[in-house]
Amino acid sequence: MVHFVGAGPGAADLITVRGRNLLEKADIIIYAGSLVNKELLCCARKDCEIYDSSGMTLEEVIGVIAENADKETVRLHTGDPSIYGAIREQIDALDRLGIKYDVCPGVSSMFGASAAIGAEYTLPGVSQSVIITRMAGRTPVPERESIELLSSHGASMVIFLSAGMLEELSARLISGGYRKDSPAAIVYKATWDDEKTVMTTVGDLAADAAEQGINRTALVLVGDFLGRDYERSKLYDPGFSHGYRREQK
Ligand code: SAH
C-alpha cells in the first residue's frame, strides 16, 4: 500500500494529523527532498527506510515501491500532492502494477502564502475566483492558459514555479490587463523559519525580488485582493438572512 501524503508548505507542524500518523507507521518513506522539511522525518520509525526522491527518476521511485509492495510506503510530497506534484504518473504506474494507494491532502504553499500576509483570495466585490498557474518554463503551459489570457479575468492569481522569470511575468501580466501599479506579493519559503514576504506591484516584481535575493521557492500573488478596497461579506451582514441566522432589523 502506498500513501501519497501532503507534507504541507514548510513548517513541520503544518502536516495533517493523518499525514503524521502515516509517517509514524511507514516502513518506507520516499520524500521530495528539494522542498519537504526534513524535520518531518524525525517521526519515522527507527527501522524505516528513507529515500530522497530529488535525485531519482519516476522509474526509480516506482522501483522502490514495487520491491516493497507488501509494505507500507509513504510518498511524501510538498504542500498538497495535487498541485504540481506529479502524482498522476505514479498513480497510473501503481494501477498497472496492481498496487493499492490512497492520497492524504496537505496544506498547499498557496495557503501558507496567504496566511503569511493575512490575505483573503476571495474578497467580496473584488474577486470570487482564484487562478492557480505558472509561467511556461522547461515544462510547457498550453497556449490557451497563457499569463496574458488568464490575467484578462482580473481574478486573484497564484503563480507557482516562476520566481526566476519575474521580468517576463510582469510584462505578460501587464499585457494581459493588469496595471503596473496593480498590487502583488512575493512570498518566499512561506511558513519556513526563513520566510520572506514582499508587498509590491506588478511593475516592481523583478526589482523587489532581486533586492531581497529571491529567485526560487516563492509564490507570486497578483490581484486587487491585495489592495485596500472590498465589500463586506453577506455572510456576516446583519441585514442578510441565511440558513443559520435571520436578518436583524
Ligand atoms: N505541491 C506544492 C507545489 C509544488 S511545486 C504545493 O502545494 O505547494 C514547487 C513550487 O511551489 C515552488 O517553485 C514554489 O513556487 C512553490 N512553493 C513550494 N513551497 C513553497 C513555500 N513554502 N513558499 C513559497 N512557495 C513555495
pLDDT mean over 229-239: 89
Question: What's the pLDDT at 133?
Answer: 98
Write the residue with the smallest CA distance to atom 9 of ligand 1: 161
CA 196, 188, 83: angle at the middle one, nearest 5?
A: 150
pLDDT mean over 78-99: 98
Q: Which residues line ligand 1 (CB under 6 A)?
A: 9-10, 35, 77-80, 83-85, 108-109, 112-113, 160-161, 187, 189-192, 217-219
- Model confidence band, residue 234 (pLDDT cutoffs 50, 70, 90): confident
Question: What's the pLDDT at 210?
Answer: 97
- Model confidence band, residue 235 (pLDDT cutoffs 50, 70, 90): confident
> Cell 485596500 maps to which residue?
228
pLDDT mean over 33-61: 96
Q: Which three cell numbers stand for residue 97?
A: 502494477
pLDDT mean over 147-166: 97
Q: How far is the CA of 108 from the centre of ligand 1 (A)?
A: 7
Ligand 1 atom at shortest distance from the alpha carbon of 134: 15
DSSP structure string for the chain:
-EEEEE-BSSSGGGS-HHHHHHHHH-SEEEE-TTTS-GGGGGGS-TT-EEEEGGG--HHHHHHHHHHTTTS-EEEEESB-TTSS---HHHHHHHHHHT--EEEE----HHHHHHHHHT--SS-TTT-S-EEEEE--SSS---GGG-HHHHHTT--EEEEES-TT-HHHHHHHHHHHT--TTSEEEEEESTTSTT-EEEEEEGGGHHHHHHHTT--SSEEEEESGGGSS-----STT-TT--BTTBPPP-
**Is-contact 195 188, C-beta < 8 A?**
yes
Using DSSP's 3-state secondary structure scheme, residue 23 falls into helix
Adjacency order of strands within the sheet including 156-160: 130-134, 156-160, 218-222, 183-188, 196-201
Judged against a pLDDT cut of 90, whether residue 172 lies above it is answered with: yes
Adjacency order of strands within the sheet including 28-31: 49-52, 28-31, 73-77, 2-6, 101-104
- Model confidence band, residue 233 (pLDDT cutoffs 50, 70, 90): confident
Using DSSP's 3-state secondary structure scheme, residue 11 falls into coil
CA 13 to chain centre: 16
Question: What's the pLDDT at 97?
Answer: 97
pTM of structure: 0.95
Question: What's the pLDDT at 95?
Answer: 98
pLDDT mean over 150-174: 97
**Residue range 10-23, pLDDT digits in tens:** 999 999 999 999 99
Average pLDDT, the chain: 96
Using DSSP's 3-state secondary structure scheme, residue 103 falls into strand
Ligand 1 atom at shortest distance from the alpha carbon of 109: 8
Which residues face 158 on adjacent strands?
Answer: 132, 221
Report the percent of the chain where pLDDT is more than 70: 100
Lowest-pLDDT range of 72-76, 175-179, 203-207, 235-239: 235-239
**Residue range 51-82, pLDDT digits in tens:** 999 999 999 999 999 999 999 999 999 999 99
